[in-house]
Amino acid sequence: MRKILDYLNHTMVGSITLGRLIYVVLVLIAFLIVMKIIMRITRRALKKSDEIDQGAQILIARGVKFLLIALFIITACGMLGVEISSFVALMSIVGAALALAAQNVLTNLFDGIILICNHPFRIGDYIETGDDGGTVVDTGLLYTKLCTPDNKVICVPNSQVFGDRIINYSTAEQRRVEIIVPTSYENDMEKVKSALHRAIAQTEGVLSDEEATAAPVVRLKEFGASSLNYTVRVWCKRSDYWPVYYDLMENIKRIYDEEGLTIPFNQLDVRVKK
């Protein structure tokens, strides 16, 4: 045993003894096992908390993992004989240089932290920001990932999301469907309103007066160039928005045909003076 220890302590691998190198490798294996256990405990503790958003849970878990890796690197350097104070000073210089060279990355990083802390949206919400819209599938340190209705994934920089307005369609349980219906000037107004109310009553998913935020609205909105434009507003559950929208459109067209009501084309009267 003494011969083996002497061999390990006197055999050099570069500037490091073989024994110390094996020791560092064993510490690395132990570290990976301990880190896996710590990360598992951390994730379980975060999942049990109802106050921490899923995006914030991911960020905290990543931060814990980063700190553990940094701690191991510093410890390993000390075990290998590297002067830690010099290493810390070198890392400070490198960090300052990287900060100057990666200002956009740091901006996205800090904006991502602010977004996760303020949580204007959560994973699973459908949002629009700038020209992009989709369901939030991940809130990362640098990018927010959106999945569009046609299943494309958009990675939007956090600085762009933070700097632009955010429209969240998933916050409220109810949404309002609004449709503008053009109608010929020749049609009787009360007959038109009655037909639109019939279309609302025959549309499945429209909430009743007791359930909805407000009662359905059918009113004359404006005098258009070629038509009278009526506003139709109804309320529905968030998940029923598009079915209600399309069904209501189809019911309006069907009842208009039954009642003999017309939706005019754009018209332009031209008078020629001689």
Does 264 fall in a domain? no
H or E element at residue 77: helix 54-79
Most confident stretch, 21-30, 95-104, 127-136: 127-136
Does 28 fall in a domain? yes
Does 59 fall in a domain? yes
Domain end residue (candidates: 101, 132, 151): 101
Chain center to CA of 183:
40
- Is there a single domain that holds both residue 11 and residue 88? yes
- Is there a single domain that holds both residue 178 and residue 243? yes
Answer whether residue 54 shows pLDDT above 60. yes
- Is there a single domain that holds both residue 156 and residue 88? no
Between these two residues, 165 and 247, which has the higher pLDDT value? 247
- Is there a single domain that holds both residue 163 and residue 178? no
Distance, in Å, from the CA atom of 15 to the CA atom of 137, rounded to the nearest integer, reads: 48
- Is there a single domain that holds both residue 90 and residue 15? yes
Does 153 fall in a domain? yes
Tens-place pLDDT, residues 128-153: 998 899 999 988 777 889 999 899 99
CA distances from 45 to 22, 31, 42, 91 (A): 35, 21, 5, 32
The token duo for 183 is 């109608």
Answer whether residue 157 shows pLDDT above 60. yes
β-bridge pairing 16-17 and 174-183: unpaired
Query: Residue 154's pLDDT band (boundaries 50, 70, 90)?
Result: very high
Give the predicted TM-score (pTM) of the model: 0.58
- Is there a single domain that holds both residue 76 and residue 143? no
DSSP-assigned beta bridge partners for residue 223: 228
Helices (H), ranges, 137-235:
158-163, 189-201
CATH number at residue 163: 2.30.30.60
**Number of domains, the chain:** 3
Answer whether residue 79 shows pLDDT above 70. no
Does 273 fall in a domain? no
Measured N-to-C along each axis, helices 189-201 and 241-259 cross at an angle, to the nearest 10 degrees, of 140
Does 272 fall in a domain? no
The vertex-89 CA angle with 21 and 14, nearest 5°, equals 25
Domain end residue (candidates: 74, 101, 128): 101
- Is there a single domain that holds both residue 183 and residue 203? yes
Does 113 fall in a domain? no
- Is there a single domain that holds both residue 183 and residue 252? yes
- Is there a single domain that holds both residue 92 and residue 15? yes
Of 4-13, 79-88, 229-238, minimum mean pLDDT range: 4-13
CATH number at residue 241: 3.30.70.100
Mean predicted lDDT score pLDDT of the chain: 81
Chain center to CA of 137:
6
β-bridge pairing 228-237 and 153-157: unpaired
Distance, in Å, from the CA atom of 226 to the CA atom of 266, rounded to the nearest integer, reads: 6
Q: What is the DSSP string of 39-57?
A: HHHHHHHHHH-SSS-HHHH
- Is there a single domain that holds both residue 10 and residue 91? yes
The token duo for 30 is 């132990």
Domain, as residue range, for 127: 120-168
Answer whether residue 248 shows pLDDT above 80. yes
CA distances from 188 to 32, 195, 226 (A): 78, 11, 15
Does 79 fall in a domain? yes
- Is there a single domain that holds both residue 97 and residue 134? no
